[in-house]
Structure 1
């Protein structure tokens, strides 16, 4: 077997060998990315809850005590979202994902 045949055989072997299925993932990047995704979804749900609360208040379907409790709960929730955002080292922009042609998430 000549040198050229050996080189061709090695090249063919590389092409036929499936690529490694292992990914080189950094634990910190994974944690931060997952944190960003979860926090973005939580923030989206929080904003939806706020909008629903406003609709119910304007519609007159809530008593004063319910409005007070709902307002307190939403303020506490917003504070916790902010605390987690800072803990993960994320900016407000990090939680506003770009959905391409649909525009920004929040």
Structure 2
């Protein structure tokens, strides 16, 4: 019995939504990097590799970045859930809270 090939992935472009879709993709990538940096900072802090001053600077920086991401999502009428790409059998790109 022959198994049919999986459906091909197709890129659907709509001229009316291309700017919003591109913005969503870029913000998704920025959010992924932000979360990775945050996790790395927490690991370094837990390992004792950071001074108190470095921890303070990183904390303020990460809070400002998170706030900026919220502002950008508001500006483009996106929710954090909309930034989480579904990768099919692999699950979602970003961890779910």
TM-score computed with the length of structure 2 as normaliser: 0.81
The structure carrying a bigger helix percent of its residues is 1
SS of 2:53 mapped into structure 1? helix
- Residue 50 of structure 2 corresponds to which residue in structure 1? 62
Return the offset for 1:30: 1.0
SS of 1:25 mapped into structure 2? coil
- Residue 52 of structure 1 corresponds to which residue in structure 2? 40
- Residue 31 of structure 1 corresponds to which residue in structure 2? 19
SS of 1:61 mapped into structure 2? coil
> Structure 1 regions of 5+ residues with no counterpart?
1-22
Structure 1 segments (4+ residues) deviating >3 Å: none
**Structure with bigger gyration radius:** 1
TM-score computed with the length of structure 1 as normaliser: 0.74
- Residue 7 of structure 2 corresponds to which residue in structure 1? none
Change (3 A) 1:32 1:41: same
> Structure 2 regions of 5+ residues with no counterpart?
1-12
Give the Cα–Cα distance (whole angstroms) in 1 for the partners of residues 83 and 25 of structure 2.
Answer: 8
Give the Cα–Cα distance (whole angstroms) in 1 for the partners of residues 71 and 52 of structure 2.
Answer: 29
Give the Cα–Cα distance (whole angstroms) in 1 for the partners of residues 62 and 36 of structure 2.
Answer: 11
SS of 1:98 mapped into structure 2? coil
